Amino acid sequence: MGSSKLSLLLLAPFLLLAAVPLVAGDELSTFIVHVHPREGRVLATAEDRNAWYRSFLPDDGRLVHAYHHVASGFAARMTRRELDALSAMPGFVSAVPDQTYELHTTHTPQFLRLESLDAKRTYPSHERGAGVIIGMLDSGIVPSHPSFSDHGMPPPPARWKGRCDFNGRRVCNNKLVGARSFITSPNATRSNSSSSELRVSPVDDEGHGTHTASTAAGAVVAGAQVLGQGKGVAATGIAPRAHVAMYKVCTETSCADSDILAGVDAAVGDGCDIISMSLGGDSKPFYEDSIAIATLGAVEKGVFVTISAGNSGPDASSVVNEAPWMLTVAASTMDRSIHSTVRLGNGFFFHGESVYQPSNVSASTLYYPLVYAGGSGKPYAELCGNGSLDGLDVRGKIVLCEAGSEPGILIPRILKGAVVQSAGGAGMILMNKFPHGYTTFADAHVLPASHVDYAAASAIKSYLNSTASPTAQIVFEGTILGDTSPAPSMAFFSSRGPSLQNPGILKPDITGPGVNVLAAWPFQVGPPNVASPPLPGPTFNIISGTSMSAPHLSGVAALIKSKHPDWSPAAIKSAIMTTAEVMDRSGDPILNEQRVPADLFATGAGHVNPEKAGDPGLVYDMAASDYIGYLCGLYDSKNVSVIARRPVDCTAVEVIPGSMLNYPSISVAFTQTWNWSTPAIVERTVRNVGEVPSVVYYAAVDVADDDVTVGVYPRELAFTQVNQELSFRVIVWPRQNGPKVVQGALRWVSDTYTVRSPISISFA
Ligand SMILES: *[C@@H]1O[C@H](CO)[C@@H](O)[C@H](O)[C@H]1NC(C)=O
Ligand SMILES: *[C@@H]1O[C@H](CO)[C@@H](O)[C@H](O)[C@H]1NC(C)=O
Ligand SMILES: *[C@@H]1O[C@H](CO)[C@@H](O)[C@H](O)[C@H]1NC(C)=O
Ligand SMILES: *[C@@H]1O[C@H](CO)[C@@H](O)[C@H](O)[C@H]1NC(C)=O
Ligand SMILES: *[C@@H]1O[C@H](CO)[C@@H](O)[C@H](O)[C@H]1NC(C)=O
Ligand SMILES: *[C@@H]1O[C@H](CO)[C@@H](O)[C@H](O)[C@H]1NC(C)=O
Ligand SMILES: *[C@@H]1O[C@H](CO)[C@@H](O)[C@H](O)[C@H]1NC(C)=O
């Protein structure tokens, strides 16, 4: 039986590892069971459904979650033998063992130019996200944090039906409108398992959920800082007028499928407009993927779904959460860095990063001996693994530690510093390996430290070789805004396409800020042994991951939903993707972690531009039913029925190949069996949502390659009405049969708008 791990997609400086138990024949374990009612039978109420679900089970105490909105079925504890019996019962469709997933910002609103005059016209500051409810599926929330103050917030819209489950105390307000938990307390007796009293509290004792929720929709908080760094004008979420609801589905270590499904079910039933998820596991077929199943149910009910792409980059096809009904978000840098500069005894210096910046009054004169334990022969000493420096002479020295871990052993960055400190080291230089390239993190280290890029790491190592007594110092220069290194640029960890599950859909969809993001945190971070008292005021933290970029996009979706309440999830996604930036702030193409131009498998449509996304000119829209035709192109009727949560007969459905879905990006995959004398034809339909009733758009194709010709017919789209729809074809003539990828874009250009779709063409 396959078992995989789901987790929050934070690029953990902390330890996050969970063992996945294997399921034996007589052992009780949790399964998600999909069932379909007999034909003609209507289950009108939640009680009807609960009673029907219980009829499958040997006793009441087995039910863990009953699903009502986005899945037809339940989660229950049972043995393999009981499951075999259950699977013979009428109405049974399929069962999957529960799996666990991993949980995978002051300056960002300015970096996203939400403070610019144009953006203020698009989204007046008193309206940013007004009337929109964002449901966060995460590790919980700390309701008392000032980022969730409801000062000046109106009550949530009347459709809101959510709950606030902080032990009866009235802690929710007009900003944090709801909080529920789907984690069953380890103390609960199973016979009471579906009652909410037996769930752990929705309070966040990890930090992740508080951080993501405040990124998406946190209130304005003056003077946000971490250890004195990062001070922006004020901390604010992307959509500070939006309401937030927390659905706790993750513990400190992992998130279970069955709980995520219950969380999405509740968020949809409660009336959320947007679901934001910063978690994921492995790539798997959609019929085995609870997140894909649940979120299709959400999108069918008009709810927008934002999700992180994963932190497994830069390897190809590492992207997860790939279903076309989700907005899949990659992570990139911004133009702020928190300099912690390494100066070598030979006078060379390198800018690294650390948010812990001890005062450096005497630093300019004092150099420390520099050591690298890699040659000591002790296991993991080059990585500064726990215990690996014991017995080595590092006392009073600056220790070089390689970034990253080895398979099977996770050594978080902050732990490496703690290891150096406990061995008596004076400081740490954390050195990138080649795949990490130029991506560096400003962590809350416990000792003077600097995280340097791979180029600096190579130079430091050759210096070490060149002299008998190498020395170095670490100088702290504080927060630098408008940093000259290219921004945005892709983070090494951001997961890459092409999508394993759907080659006809380009994934990830978009990139947003996900490196060194400052946002709310439940408690003070940093070295416990600093002499100076903790700075007063609200607590924040700077962390990185696609977990951090996804809630930025949830905030942007809230801005658009607030401005255009009648737009479908597909239209909002189109607006975000077709207006994305493909150039960085210096006007050059967005680079990757190696400082070479990033491809579409890293960036998707590009870097989000919230202001333009509010007024895209044209949108590529879709009906939720189109996804069923698309799924019938991938799977058989039985598997499609599981995803659709109702019986689907694919022979009676118009099949839509992936490349023909009306998606805002274009992906064409030529297989080896392609008839090379025929072109690939892609059809799209656009709707005029611009202000001007009559407008002409001209096609421009940016694909420069001798092995392929891309034509667009017609080359002109003349709209005479608002909301008018026009269709066109993109014809791709291959001229060669050999493995390669050609990428570019199609732009529809009017006097006012540019509507850009990335095009990716691959030859098997
Ligand atoms: C479980 O019970 C123990 C002992 O009574 C208690 O300390 C702990 O807080 C409980 N855990 C939860 C999640 O309620
Ligand atoms: C379930 O909970 C109710 C009230 O919370 C309690 O009265 C009942 O005894 C519990 N049942 C079991 C089997 O623990
Ligand atoms: C490091 O190792 C020691 C001894 O093996 C253990 O007690 C400690 O918990 C470990 N620390 C971490 C952070 O893993
Ligand atoms: C440093 O010296 C060691 C051993 O002589 C060698 O393996 C390594 O490649 C050298 N590193 C650099 C960066 O020159
Ligand atoms: C540390 O020293 C450097 C160079 O001497 C100086 O530029 C910087 O402002 C100092 N930083 C702090 C935080 O004092
Ligand atoms: C459908 O699902 C079954 C497992 O239930 C799998 O073995 C089969 O390959 C799937 N079929 C298709 C066409 O995906
Ligand atoms: C390939 O396409 C051409 C043009 O449509 C057609 O004439 C030819 O028969 C096709 N070849 C095969 C092997 O299907």
> Taking 60 as the threshold, does the pLDDT of residue 689 lie above it?
yes
Residue 20: which pLDDT band, with cuts at 50, 70 and 90? Answer: very low
Q: What's the pLDDT score for residue 693?
A: 79
Residue 150: which pLDDT band, with cuts at 50, 70 and 90? Answer: very high
677 in contact with ligand 7, CB cutoff 6 A: yes
Closest CA to 618 of 691, 716, 701, 681: 691
Q: Which residues does 454 contact at the CB level (< 8 Å), separation at least 6?
A: 431, 432, 433, 434, 436, 437, 438
> Taking 50 as the threshold, does the pLDDT of residue 46 lie above it?
yes
CB 69 within 8 A of CB 75: no
716-719 and 695-702 as β-strands: parallel, antiparallel, unpaired?
A: antiparallel
Euclidean distance between CA atoms 248 and 166, whole angstroms: 12
188 in contact with ligand 3, CB cutoff 6 A: no
| Three-state secondary structure string covering 213-270 | HHHHHCCCEECCCECCECCCCEECCCCCCCEEEEEECECCCCEEHHHHHHHHHHHHHH
> Taking 60 as the threshold, does the pLDDT of residue 106 lie above it?
no
- Is 16 in a helix, a strand, or coil? coil
CB 332 within 8 A of CB 438: no
> Mean pLDDT across the chain, nearest whole number?
88
Q: What's the pLDDT score for residue 3?
A: 37
Q: Token digits for 625?
A: 């039913």
Residue 121: which pLDDT band, with cuts at 50, 70 and 90? Answer: confident
> Taking 50 as the threshold, does the pLDDT of residue 510 lie above it?
yes
- Protein residue whose Cα sits closest to atom 12 of ligand 7: 675
Residue 372 CA, ligand 3 centroid: distance in Å: 21
Q: How far is CA 262 from CA 32, 187, 194, 327, in A?
A: 11, 20, 11, 20
387 in contact with ligand 3, CB cutoff 6 A: yes
524 in contact with ligand 3, CB cutoff 6 A: no
Catalytic residues: 138, 208, 547
Q: Which atom of ligand 3 is nearest to the CA of 415?
A: 13
Euclidean distance between CA atoms 296 and 643, whole angstroms: 8
- Provide φ and ψ at 500, rounded to 5°: -75, -30
- Is 38 in a helix, a strand, or coil? coil
- Protein residue whose Cα sits closest to atom 1 of ligand 2: 192
540-543 and 517-520 as β-strands: parallel, antiparallel, unpaired?
A: antiparallel
461 in contact with ligand 4, CB cutoff 6 A: yes
Q: What's the pLDDT score for residue 19?
A: 28
167-174 — which CB contacts under 8 Å span 24+ positions? Answer: 167/201, 171/143, 171/144, 172/143, 173/148, 173/149, 174/150, 174/243
Mean pLDDT, residues 471-494 taken together: 88
Euclidean distance between CA atoms 306 and 290, whole angstroms: 15
Mean pLDDT, residues 198-220 taken together: 91
Residue 110: which pLDDT band, with cuts at 50, 70 and 90? Answer: low
465 in contact with ligand 4, CB cutoff 6 A: yes
Q: Which residues does 640 contact at the CB level (< 8 Å), separation at least 6?
A: 287, 628, 631, 632, 648, 650
Q: What's the pLDDT score for residue 44?
A: 79
The distance of Cα 74 from the centroid of its chain, to the nearest Å, equals: 27
- Is 710 in a helix, a strand, or coil? strand
| Three-state secondary structure string covering 332-374 | ECCCEEEEEEEEECCCCEEEEECCCCCCCCCCCCCCEEEEEHH
Mean pLDDT, residues 186-190 taken together: 59
Q: Which residues does 644 contact at the CB level (< 8 Å), separation at least 6?
A: 296, 628, 631
478 in contact with ligand 5, CB cutoff 6 A: yes
Query: To which residue do tokens 């002409």 refer?
Result: 696
Closest CA to 370 of 472, 445, 457: 472
Q: What's the pLDDT score for residue 523?
A: 83
Mean pLDDT, residues 682-693 taken together: 91
Residue 406: which pLDDT band, with cuts at 50, 70 and 90? Answer: confident
Query: To which residue do tokens 């939720």 refer?
Result: 624
Mean pLDDT, residues 76-92 taken together: 90
b/e for 180-194, b at 16 or more Cβ within 10 A?
bbbbbeeeeebeebb
Q: Token digits for 25?
A: 């024949």
The structure's pTM equals 0.91
> Taking 70 as the threshold, does the pLDDT of residue 195 lie above it?
no
- Protein residue whose Cα sits closest to atom 14 of ligand 7: 675
> Taking 80 as the threshold, does the pLDDT of residue 38 lie above it?
no
Residue of 189, 192, 193, 196 with the most ligand 2 atoms within 8 Å of its CB, for mutation: 192
CB 515 within 8 A of CB 608: no
Residue 265 CA, ligand 2 centroid: distance in Å: 25
Residue 9: which pLDDT band, with cuts at 50, 70 and 90? Answer: low
Q: What's the pLDDT score for residue 107?
A: 54
Q: Token digits for 17?
A: 């590892």
Euclidean distance between CA atoms 249 and 278, whole angstroms: 11
CA angle (692, 694, 697) in 5-degree steps = 95
Task: Give percent of the chain with pLDDT exceeding 70.
Answer: 90
Residue of 165, 182, 187 with the most ligand 1 atoms within 8 Å of its CB, for mutation: 187
Euclidean distance between CA atoms 746 and 665, whole angstroms: 9
> Taking 70 as the threshold, does the pLDDT of residue 168 lie above it?
no
> Taking 90 as the threshold, does the pLDDT of residue 673 lie above it?
no
Ligand 6 interacting residues, C-beta cut-off 6 A:
94, 287, 635-636, 639
Residue 14: which pLDDT band, with cuts at 50, 70 and 90? Answer: very low
Euclidean distance between CA atoms 584 and 68, whole angstroms: 45
Q: Token digits for 196?
A: 């909410």
- Protein residue whose Cα sits closest to atom 4 of ligand 3: 387
Q: What's the pLDDT score for residue 535?
A: 66
Residue 15: which pLDDT band, with cuts at 50, 70 and 90? Answer: very low
pLDDT, tens digit, for every residue of 233-246?
A: 567 899 999 999 99
Q: What's the pLDDT score for residue 2?
A: 34
**131 φψ region: left (φ > 0), alpha (ψ -120 to 50), beta (else):** left
Q: Which atom of ligand 1 is nearest to the CA of 200?
A: 13
CB 229 within 8 A of CB 251: no
Q: How many residues in the chain?
A: 764
Q: What is the DSSP string of 640-659?
A: HHHHHTS---GGGS----GG
Q: What's the pLDDT score for residue 330?
A: 97
Sheet containing 29-35: give its strands across: 63-67, 73-78, 29-35, 92-97
Mean pLDDT, residues 626-643 taken together: 96
362 in contact with ligand 5, CB cutoff 6 A: no
Residue 649: which pLDDT band, with cuts at 50, 70 and 90? Answer: very high
The domains found in the chain, sorted by start residue, are 23-97 (3.30.70.80), 102-334+489-610 (3.40.50.200), 337-481 (3.50.30.30), 665-763 (2.60.40.2310)
Euclidean distance between CA atoms 641 and 104, whole angstroms: 29
754-763 and 540-543 as β-strands: parallel, antiparallel, unpaired?
A: unpaired
Q: Token digits for 113?
A: 């130019």
> Taking 80 as the threshold, does the pLDDT of residue 298 lie above it?
yes
- 717 vs 26, residue with greater confidence: 717
- Is 301 in a helix, a strand, or coil? coil
Residue of 477, 479, 480, 530 with the most ligand 5 atoms within 8 Å of its CB, for mutation: 477
Q: Which residues does 37 contact at the CB level (< 8 Å), separation at least 6?
A: 43, 52, 72, 91
Q: For 552, how many CA atoms within 13 A lie in the half-sphere containing its CB?
A: 36
Q: Which atom of ligand 1 is nearest to the CA of 201?
A: 13
Q: Which atom of ligand 6 is nearest to the CA of 639?
A: 1
Q: What's the pLDDT score for residue 643?
A: 94
> Taking 70 as the threshold, does the pLDDT of residue 138 lie above it?
yes
pLDDT, tens digit, for every residue of 303-336?
A: 999 999 999 999 999 999 999 999 999 999 998 8
Residue 159: which pLDDT band, with cuts at 50, 70 and 90? Answer: very high
196 in contact with ligand 2, CB cutoff 6 A: no
43 in contact with ligand 5, CB cutoff 6 A: no
Q: How far is CA 655 from CA 622, 637, 651, 716, 731, in A?
A: 15, 12, 9, 28, 20
Residue 711 CA, ligand 7 centroid: distance in Å: 20
